[in-house]
Each structure stands twice: as structure tokens, then as C-alpha cells.
A and B are shown apart, each in its own frame.
Chain A
Amino acid sequence: MAVAKRGARWYVAIVENAAGDKKNKLRVGIPRALLYHKYGKLWEVFFRELGVGVVLSPETNKEIIARGARLSIDESCLSVKIFVGHIDWLKDKADAVLVPHITCLHSGEEMCVKFMALVDTVRNVFPGIKVIEYSVNAKKLETEAGSMIRLGARLAGNPFRAIAAYMKAKGAWEKSAREKKEAQAEKFAAARRGEKPLILIVAHSYTLEDNFLGRPIIDYLEKSGVCVLCSDRLDAARAREISKNISQTLYWTYHKELLGAAEYYKDSVDGMIFLTTFPCGPDALAVNLCQSKMKGIPSIIVSLDELESRVGLQTRLESFVDVINFKKCRKKK
């Protein structure tokens, strides 16, 4: 592996080390939290194509949450605590961890400030940790492609290899995202003809797909005979566009997608569950606004924290499903 000429000194050091010992190649840690649930495929394929080893943290479990909660500022939102927990798991097992620095994905929109601060949060919580970052900021014309290719060129020492890796990764990522969307569209079409009640869960990918937060809820609902739709499996650009029907001035990209999904499905679902992690800043405003605009649709806001008792949550979900079934029966009569 050629040595990168420019860039941070430690990159060079690691790459040199790896060149000396073929078995001991550079290992990048990818935390299975936050944006992993959106871009995981992209990152994994990208690093694999570059010839860099990937260490993936396990699914979120109690221990990771406990570690994260102990290390982070206690007022951080649960999602950030989980992220910190994953980094803590990775820090001894990988040479460096990947933390994307995403400020703005589309011009005129913004990300939650927690994503802007993620790199610095990690650096401050784990002093001396090696962070691999790539920046995306549409306002400064820093695109995902540009930043990732630059990162790849540094790691592999070969810009062409980085471009090829990025193209391949992007293709794989697009394919997996498309499959998810198609699966949901099929499910939706089938459920509309069927008898099952239809519930939309409005939440971020990193809440929905998390093994500790969203998945148990989805599993529980499916087990109780409900067809579950997820807000993150809709065409993102389209969702952002139709979110304007609910809110004109909303500027958080991911919340636009949530509200857009709620708007898209509002006429066909029997109920909505808003899943938020405590204390999510943007959710406090956007979700409340959205709930108040969804008139006539039964909905609940479920707020998750690290102390969550599963029993209380189950009771709430159970009674919500009962209400929806009851309503559906009455409508039929």
C-alpha cells in the first residue's frame, strides 16, 4: 500500500504500519448507530473496495447503552448516547473510527446541530481517539462524493482506486435503498387490500432500525397482527417536497422526510406512532406540530430513554392497537 503524501500525520503512520505487515492492515471502526442506518452499505462497500479492514460494532444492546450513558453528558439525546456507546466498544478494536461530519445535505436545509457536533463530541469524550471523517456541506460545495473520494485517496494512496470504490459503493447503496423502498411499497399495496390494520411509525432510521429502540416495537406490532409501515422507506426527495403541505419553514432535512411520510400515508393508515428519543430537540417542535396537523388519525407519541421499562411501553402499544382495531371494526359495521 503506497504511503499517502499529504494529509494528517497519523494517516501516514497507520498506512505505513499496514504496509509493513500485510496481515495487520488498517482497520476502520464503523459504529452501528445514527447515520449507519442510512449509509451503512455505502461505508462498508467503500472501505472494502479500498482494501481497508472494517470493524463493525454489534447491534445496540444494554451494555452499549449503559456505556454510552455513563460517558456522555447526561442531557444528550439517547441517540447520541448510543453512538458514544458504540464508539466506546470500537475504540480498542479498531485503529480509527469513522464519524461523518454532515452539516447540510441540500442547500436551504440543515441538519440537527448534533450531527454538526458529532466529531467534536467524540474527540472530547475520548481524548486521543483517531477519527476518520468526511464532511458534507452543500453550502460550501463540499459534496459527499468529493469528500469521500478525497478520504479514499488518502487511505489508499491512489485517487483512481478511491473513485472506483466510491462508484461501486454508491451503486450498492442505491440498490439496497431501492429494495427497501420497493418492499415497503409492495407491503403497502398488499395491506390496503387486506384486512389488517395499518400503522405508520414516524421516526428516524436510527431509531427505527436500532435493535434496542425501534425493532422490538415493530416486532411487537407485527406479532399483534398489525401491518407496520416505516417513515424512512419512502423516496426522500419526494417526501421532502410534500412535507411543505404540513410545514413551510421546517429546515431539518430528516424531519422533512418524516413529515413528508406522514403526509403521504395520512389518508390510508389507521394510526400513527411517533417514536422519539428523549430529549430530541427538533422532534419536540416538529413532531408536535405534525401530530396536531394530523386531525382524525389516532396517534401516540412514544418517547424512549435509556431507563425504558419494556412493560410500560408494551401496555401503551397494546391499548393503542386495541383502539385501532375497535375503530376499524366499528367503521365496517
Chain B
Amino acid sequence: MGDYYSAFKCLVELIGRPLVPPPITKKTIELGFKHSPETVCIPFKYNLGNYIEALEAGADVICQAGGGCRFGYYAEVQEQILRRLGYEFEFFKLNNKNSVIGFIKDFKRIAPHNTYPGIIHRLALCLARIHCIDAVSDCVRKNIGFEIHPGQMEKTYRKFLEDLARTYSLGAVFSLKNECLRQIRQIDIDKPADCLRVGVVGELYMLMEPFANFYLEKKLAQRKIEVHRFVTVSGILTEYFSGDRSVKKHLAAAHPYLTHHIGAHGTETVARANSLIKKGFDGIIHLKPFGCMPEVSAMAALNNLARDRRAPILYFSFDSQTSEAGLETRVEAFCDMLYMKQKKKKNG
């Protein structure tokens, strides 16, 4: 996942082997599509394409996480497909059953020459980097559309990521974050007080992988819209550690549209959409891979939300055939509609 490269790098360095970051291209998805089961969701295909490219590039340890829906079963099926294709590798599986201690023990197994305190320090460093990346990118997302000289913020952000990859102490990581945030605030922006605000919600892979959603956030920013997103790696980790409590919180926020947890991030999607609309956001964009089980259940609730509160919600469903031009047209029309709605409201 693009920007998180520098965070995971510090863990992988401990194994004593380089991290192979395969850039995602059209070829990745073609490879993934070719070898995946037909009706599986698109993140599976991207992941598989990534693995094949990484293994071709010489990787020998690959890692997969796991989650609440089909995601938890990715690892076994992917491993089997890759072995059938004749690749030799070690597969490192992280899933819900693993605790932090289990993770550290597993890690020690593949990187035996490290001490436990060393691994724990690196793990903390990795988490700190993730936190800082999320904090900075959130600030960038909200302001990048309003720059007077476009390109400055992007440059500052890229420089921050580069510097971060070279920072190995916890204190320095946080001061780097504060320094970067200060620099971003100094960049001249022209942001009207009543600018349009749009929240993007939905399935985590589609939200976090800009290549997969055709740089949707950038497209929104170019149309002078403040973009809010809550699904980030640090957000997911917080959810994971707070367990049932976060589900309860989301269920309360999703009232009256949900009464039970609907699996994976479905509940959070409805909860976020509901609270954003209550806060007066101008629109919601919902992203999901085709056939995503929890998000489809969430859509029934979102439909009612849109009807009850007259809130504009735009749905995108991605599969390997989705075209950028189609998405662009729909985003453009959605933004025009939001601007017209705002104008109408102003004129009374």
C-alpha cells in the first residue's frame, strides 16, 4: 500500500532482506485476474498480482493479513494458487486469531538473529510511523485542493515520507510529523469557510489504494472539495484493539439504520455516513469491490439514510473491468450536483 512502505520497511529490515515494493500497474491486475477465481472480490486479484510480481522480482517471504469477511480466507487460497504456479516462498499469515505476542513470536521465527526487545522497539517504531503518516496525509487530504501554487503540498508530503524512512527513533518520528504539519500550514491556501465537504466511506482496500480507486481523492481535490476519510491503517489497528467496544460505538452512531453488527467494516461505513450527514457534510462517496458482502448489506441502510435525510450518496463498485473514464464522468456530475445544491441553498 503505497505510502505505508516506509512504515513496514522498518520491520522488514530486521529480517535482513530487502523489502520488494512492487508498484501496482495495469499488468498487476491482469496477472491477478488471470489466476484468481472468477467471482472473488477485486482486492484478492490485486494482492495476487502483487505477489506474483514480487516473487518474480525475487521475494521469498510474503505476508498476508486477515479480517472479518472473505479477507480472512485469502491467505490459504492465495498460497495454494501460488504454489500451484510453482513459486517457492514462505507465507507469513497474520489473522484475527493472532495476538500481539503471537505476532512477535512468529516474527522471531523468521528473523531469528533478533532479540525480543529489538523486535518490540521496531514494532513500536512501525506503529509510530503509521500514525504519523496517517496524521499528515489526513491534513494533506483536507487542504490540497485549495493550494494557490499547486504541487507544494505534494512535494512536502513526499519529502516527509523520504525523511521518515530514515528516522529510527520514536521521538524523532513525532517531531518530524510536527515539523511537516507546521510546513503544510504555512503553505498558502485559499479555502473558503463554506467549502464543500465530502466523506469517502466503504471497503478498506478500495479506499486506501489510490491506484485501485483511480486517484478518486485527487479528483475530488482538484474540484476544490475537502475530502475526509476515516479508514486508515492506524484507524483499523485502533478498531482491532478496542474490539467489541468500537462495534458498540459504531452501532450507536448508525442508529436507527442498524441494530446488529453486519460484519467487517459494514457497520462502520453506515455509522460514519450517518454521523457525517448529521454534521452537515455535503455528500458521501461509497466505494466497494463488486460483490463485497458486508458493504452490500450496508448499502441497504445507506439507501434509507439518503432518502430520509435527502443526502447525496454516490456508489462505486469496482471490478477489473471498471474504467477510469466512467468514474471520472460520474464524479464530475456528482460534484456539479453538489455545487448546484449549495448555490440553491445560499440563494434561499
The chain A residues found within 8 Å of chain B, CB to CB, are 72-73, 75-77, 101, 103, 112-114, 116-117, 119-121, 123-125, 127, 135, 247-252, 278-286, 288-289, 292, 303
CA gap between A160 and B291 in the complex, in Å: 45
**A116–B70 CB distance below 8 A:** no
Identify which of A119, A248, A285 contacts B37 (C-beta below 8 A): A285
Given A113-B68, A113-B69, A289-B77: A279 touches B263 (CB 8 Å cut-off): no
Q: Give the distance to chain A from B51, nearest Cβ to Cβ, in Å.
A: 16
Cross-chain pair count, CB within 8 angstroms: 110
Q: A124 to chain B: which residues have CB within 8 Å?
A: 257, 300-301, 303-304
B204 to chain A, nearest CB (A): 15
What are 22 of the A-B contact pairs (CB < 8 Å)?
A: A75-B292, A76-B296, A101-B260, A103-B261, A113-B297, A114-B293, A114-B297, A117-B266, A117-B294, A120-B262, A127-B304, A135-B260, A248-B76, A249-B75, A249-B93, A252-B73, A279-B290, A281-B293, A284-B37, A284-B38, A288-B77, A289-B77
* Interface residues in chain B, defined as those with a beta carbon under 8 Å from any beta carbon in chain A: 37-41, 44, 68-70, 72-77, 80, 84, 93, 95, 257-264, 266, 290-294, 296-297, 299-301, 303-304, 317
CB distance from B52 to the nearest CB of A (A): 17
Q: Are A286 and B262 in contact (CB under 8 A)?
A: no
For B39, the chain A residues whose CB sits under 8 A away are: 278-280, 283-284, 303
Chain B residues with CB under 8 A of A73 = 296, 299-300, 303
Q: Is the CB of B37 within 8 A of A281?
A: no
What's the Cα separation between A123 and B39 when bound, in Å? 28
* Cβ–Cβ < 8 Å partners of A251 in chain B: 72-73
* Other 13 A-B pairs with CB < 8 A, given A117-B263, A285-B40, A289-B76: A77-B291, A116-B261, A117-B260, A120-B257, A120-B259, A120-B300, A121-B300, A281-B69, A281-B70, A284-B39, A285-B44, A285-B77, A288-B77
Task: Check A282 against B70 for contact (C-beta < 8 Å).
Answer: yes
Instruction: Report which residue of A103, A120, A249 has the largest number of chain B beta carbons within 10 angstroms of its beta carbon.
Output: A120
8 Å CB contact of B80 from A116, A123, A127, A289: A289
CB distance from A77 to the nearest CB of B (A): 8
Nearest-Cβ distance from residue A53 to partner chain B, whole angstroms: 25
Residues of B close to A103: CB separation below 8 A: 260-261
Residues in chain A near residue B304, CB distance under 8 A = 124, 127
Q: How distant is the Cα of A121 from the Cα of B290 in the complex, in angstroms?
A: 18
Known: A112-B293, A289-B76. A72 touches B260 (CB 8 A): no
- Return chain A residues, CB-CB under 8 Å to B297: 113-114, 117, 120-121
A44 to B294, CA, bound (A): 30
Cα A278 to Cα B39 in complex, Å, equals 8
* Cβ A116 vs Cβ B300 within 8 A: no
Interface centre among B257, B260, B264 (most CB of A within 10 A): B260
Leading 5 A-B pairs by shortest Cβ distance = A113-B263, A117-B297, A117-B262, A288-B37, A124-B300
- How far, in Å, is A158 (CB) from chain B's closest CB? 27
Q: A73-B300, A75-B296 are in contact. Are A292 and B84 (CB under 8 A)?
A: yes
A113 touches B264 (CB 8 A): yes
Q: Are A123 and B259 in touch, CB under 8 angstroms?
A: yes
The answer to whether A75 and B77 have CB atoms under 8 Å apart is no
Inter-chain contacts of B263 with A (CB < 8 A): 113, 116-117
Contacts of B296 in A (CB 8 A): 73, 75-76
Contact A113 B37 (CB under 8 A): no
Query: How far is B249's CA from A223's CA once the two chains are assembled, in angstroms?
Result: 56
Query: Chain B's nearest CB lies how many Å from the CB of A181?
Result: 28
